[in-house]
């Protein structure tokens, strides 16, 4: 099983922006973040963000990644840390 395919099997679904994240969900997000942090520098770039979003079953295009980064005040040349990753992913997933 490839690392990404593990997340396809987790049963993640699109969700509304309202619900809060449980500890288990945060742990799974952290595990995914660390898995796709290929530089092992506690940050991911836009390419890695797109890959992890796809691994969670989200149908994302470059423009979706650009908009997600813009929503937290970043652009595609910036990297994001875990807290910013959670801000991007939380409205998009549910376990």
Collapsed DSSP state (helix, strand, coil) of residue 73: coil
Q: How confident is the model at residue 31 (pLDDT cuts 50, 70, 90)?
A: very high
- The Cα–Cα gap between 83 and 81 comes to 6
- The Cα–Cα gap between 78 and 56 comes to 22
- The Cα–Cα gap between 77 and 46 comes to 7
Tell whether the model's pLDDT for residue 7 goes beyond 50. no
- The Cα–Cα gap between 18 and 36 comes to 26
- Selection from 75, 70, 80, 72 nearest residue 45 by Cα: 80
Read off the pLDDT of residues 33-92 as tens digits, 9 standing for 90 and up: 999 999 999 999 999 999 999 999 999 999 999 999 999 999 999 999 999 999 999 888
């Amino acid at each position: 099983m490839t690392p990404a395919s593990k997340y396809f099997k987790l049963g993640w679904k699109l969700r509304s922006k309202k619900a809060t994240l449980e500890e288990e969900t945060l742990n799974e997000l952290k595990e995914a973040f660390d898995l796709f942090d290929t530089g092992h520098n506690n940050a991911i770039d836009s390419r890695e963000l797109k890959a992890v979003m796809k691994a969670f079953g989200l149908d994302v295009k470059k423009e979706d990644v650009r908009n997600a980064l813009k929503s937290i005040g970043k652009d595609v040349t910036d990297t994001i840390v875990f807290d910013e990753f959670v801000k991007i992913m939380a409205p998009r997933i549910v376990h």
